[in-house]
Structure 1
């Protein structure tokens, strides 16, 4: 028994040394080719780099200028009208010249109501800016997490590659000793080559993910490594949702729409009231054959008669919209809470599976593989047993990374839902470009006229 334990410890130390040499060689290659160890990038550093780069467009300042100009435009008085008319042009005709200036007098607060609408439109621009900031932050975090997940997947793939290398080393010894066939040796080599290919595939995916992340701050370099502060599991999801309860931008947008509809209703009420138009002018009369003229001051008031069009149907439209908006708010709040609860439950279930696999299943499978490999070296087990243990370990490592990816996907769904933004935009490879294009388009679509359309 003591002899068997001694052999087991010796073989295990040799296996560990073999894996250590292999991992050291891999790390040396990575270091020499890309200098990963020299540049570590946290999420905060990444977000700062992206924000500084994206601010070069200066779109927010433009929107602010447009909003302020619209508020000032809404407070302007209506332009006066100048009227000139004359009758009689011959020297033998009586002539009458009328010159007057008319001005509409806003006595019911139409300009004030219009200014209120413009101020609410400026508040809409502020919400648009908040949505932009939130979408940028989530999009950066998503691409940053994809790099981190690819790094973790590469690490697991390298571990599996070291496992297959240990199998190859043991197979070569058995083959040279004549205890297994050349076919068994070739089968082990085929498996090892496939692991090499998968590792290269993951390395390529990692490089592409890094370049996509670097594109966000105007570069294409991939010589950096993202690092987590604590754990690769998205453990901050529940806390993020709790702190975002009062920051749901979709609900803020609905509340602002309600204010705009109330302001529109007030505007239509005052717009329906007849503002008088005051005219001030002079009338000059000159009789035919008379050198002198008679000048008279003219003062008039014109009041529109709102008999047929009193904006009565516009009021009905606004009332119907307000009722629908109230129903929409209640429905969204109900669905919002239920969906968040479902997503958090799903993340909790994935975490339980991940802990079970990471803490118990994979360590046990690694131990089973090492014992099987040791038994194979001493002739107790066949190469099929070793390959079966290796495949089982590989499947569990792949399942581990898949659980991580699922958890991060659900985490971003929950965060996007909590903040009231579209998760499909966040998870798009060109998310930043889409977000910028949407912002630029919305800026260009701001109306140059002020009023209720």
Structure 2
């Protein structure tokens, strides 16, 4: 029994992972081995470990079970009723006993309308499952990218630390030669110590980020690395957005809401129609003072008269909701595209800045620093000139990492928007916990009674 349950659990996890990989295939960064190559744990392995661990509470199996039960429930006939009527109880009275069994017929397709409602809800669960896979994948990719960015930031900080160390070594030699004061040397030392502290701070943040990622598959180790290789920029964003827009979950939910409204409208029409109730029974009569009894078959039909309540106002409510959904869909598409265009424009501008600082400013500043340091060693430049060149180089390195961070944040905002997902959930520190809690709450809130709720 345990092996069977384990197999089913594994199959469901693999199903979710397959959906996630289909989504991830749309991205050239987070989901291609080329970008995350040469790591001790690649992205696919990470995603698989996270999904398997997170599926310990398999809410979608419960949702599917509920939806299947509701579909079966929709096909049940209404319960029959039994009535017994007795007239006359004394021996000197005429007596009549009637026994009837009544059954409401489904002439106009009430069960069929309920089945359509149940099928729409099953479709909603399928979309929710794909949405969950997309949210998990993006949340994992976000944490993964944060680690990669922090590793890149650590490299830049270590480079700056090496720069300040070189400045300090040169300052010590100049001080020993009597060319600069002890105060000048101490100022260089203070700057170097601050660079050491900044590097330690980045190392701590990197270690915590790794532990946060490892926690997603139930581990606490942080002994793995993520390398940008040659692609530190989110080049995949535009292609990802174009592909994701065709699978926008918010628009899919709007379309399903329209289907649900149509199914509810059909259900209300059917419920309003006068389904007859057929009764079949026996009437047994006995005249006072006569021992013989007379039995007769009874066949009756009861047809309700829907004269006052025809669900006409409920129909009006559904019509109003459908009109609103049409407006929502059109408005959302317009606003979504406008916001995506803005984000992609921002990303293009950031790329221009990044290329400028990475290809021109930093190499030039490194060259200026090396020349200034060399001139300082031979007495041509002052310690102030060296510090100024070092600070300029440090600022440009900081600008580079800040542009990278902003670009990745913009990329995730665009990806989430294209999918119709709230980016604030994806990029929050406890993203997957929030996603799971929302899923659990939704599962518990599934309606037990099927109909036009």
TM-score normalised by the chain length of structure 1: 0.90
The aligned counterpart of 2:160 is 160
CA distance in 2, matches of 1:90, 1:158: 108
CA distance in 2, matches of 1:227, 1:79: 66
Map 1:169-188 onto structure 2 (within 5 A).
169-188=169-188
- Structure number, greater radius of gyration: 1
Work out whether 1:122 is the aligned partner of 2:122.
yes
The aligned counterpart of 2:418 is 418
Which digits, 9 at most, give the CA deviation of each residue in 1:100-121, with x for residues without a partner?
A: 0001111111110111011101
Ranges of 4+ aligned residues in structure 1 off by more than 4 Å = none
CA distance in 2, matches of 1:150, 1:343: 23
Work out whether 1:317 is the aligned partner of 2:321.
no
Where 1:102 maps in the other structure, the secondary structure is strand
The aligned counterpart of 1:14 is none
1:230 Cα shift? 4.2
Work out whether 1:377 is the aligned partner of 2:377.
yes
**Contact 2:39 / 2:227 at 8 angstroms: preserved in 1?**
no
1:39 Cα shift? 6.1
**Contact 1:376 / 1:382 at 8 angstroms: preserved in 2?**
yes
Give ranges in structure 2 of 5+ residues lacking alignment.
Answer: 1-37
CA distance in 2, matches of 1:341, 1:385: 44
The aligned counterpart of 1:34 is none
The aligned counterpart of 1:61 is 61
**Contact 1:70 / 1:118 at 8 angstroms: preserved in 2?**
yes
The aligned counterpart of 2:201 is 201
CA distance in 2, matches of 1:59, 1:301: 46
1:44 Cα shift? 2.0
Which digits, 9 at most, give the CA deviation of each residue in 1:230-277, with x for residues without a partner?
A: 411111001111222311111111111111111111111111110000
Work out whether 1:214 is the aligned partner of 2:214.
yes
**Contact 1:42 / 1:228 at 8 angstroms: preserved in 2?**
no
**Contact 1:96 / 1:284 at 8 angstroms: preserved in 2?**
yes
1:97 Cα shift? 1.2
The aligned counterpart of 1:239 is 239
1:290 Cα shift? 2.6
Map 1:57-96 onto structure 2 (within 5 A).
57-96=57-96
- Cα RMSD between the aligned structures? 1.4
Which digits, 9 at most, give the CA deviation of each residue in 1:14-39, with x for residues without a partner?
A: xxxxxxxxxxxxxxxxxxxxxxxx96
**Contact 2:237 / 2:411 at 8 angstroms: preserved in 1?**
yes
CA distance in 2, matches of 1:229, 1:127: 35
1:62 Cα shift? 1.4
CA distance in 2, matches of 1:342, 1:217: 36
Which digits, 9 at most, give the CA deviation of each residue in 1:299-337, with x for residues without a partner?
A: 111110000001111111111111111111111111111
1:452 Cα shift? 1.0
**Contact 1:98 / 1:284 at 8 angstroms: preserved in 2?**
yes
1:161 Cα shift? 0.3
Work out whether 1:362 is the aligned partner of 2:353.
no
CA distance in 2, matches of 1:350, 1:270: 58
**Contact 1:74 / 1:118 at 8 angstroms: preserved in 2?**
yes
1:229 Cα shift? 5.6
The aligned counterpart of 1:387 is 387
Which digits, 9 at most, give the CA deviation of each residue in 1:23-72, with x for residues without a partner?
A: xxxxxxxxxxxxxxx96222222111111211222222111111111111
Where 1:373 maps in the other structure, the secondary structure is helix
**Contact 1:139 / 1:431 at 8 angstroms: preserved in 2?**
yes
Work out whether 1:342 is the aligned partner of 2:342.
yes
1:151 Cα shift? 0.5
CA distance in 1, matches of 2:439, 2:271: 33
CA distance in 1, matches of 2:169, 2:444: 66
Which digits, 9 at most, give the CA deviation of each residue in 1:80-107, with x for residues without a partner?
A: 0011121223333322211100011111
Which digits, 9 at most, give the CA deviation of each residue in 1:167-223, with x for residues without a partner?
A: 110011001111111101110100000000000100110011111111111111111
Give ranges in structure 1 of 5+ residues lacking alignment.
Answer: 1-37
**Contact 2:264 / 2:451 at 8 angstroms: preserved in 1?**
no
Where 1:82 maps in the other structure, the secondary structure is strand
**Contact 1:103 / 1:278 at 8 angstroms: preserved in 2?**
yes
CA distance in 1, matches of 2:153, 2:350: 17
Where 2:123 maps in the other structure, the secondary structure is helix
Where 1:234 maps in the other structure, the secondary structure is coil
Distance 1:343 1:120, change over 3 A: same
The aligned counterpart of 1:353 is 353
Where 1:281 maps in the other structure, the secondary structure is strand
Work out whether 1:253 is the aligned partner of 2:253.
yes
Map 1:276-315 onto structure 2 (within 5 A).
276-315=276-315
Where 1:41 maps in the other structure, the secondary structure is coil
CA distance in 1, matches of 2:49, 2:234: 22
Map 1:39-58 onto structure 2 (within 5 A).
40-58=40-58
Where 1:99 maps in the other structure, the secondary structure is strand
Equivalent pairs, count: 417
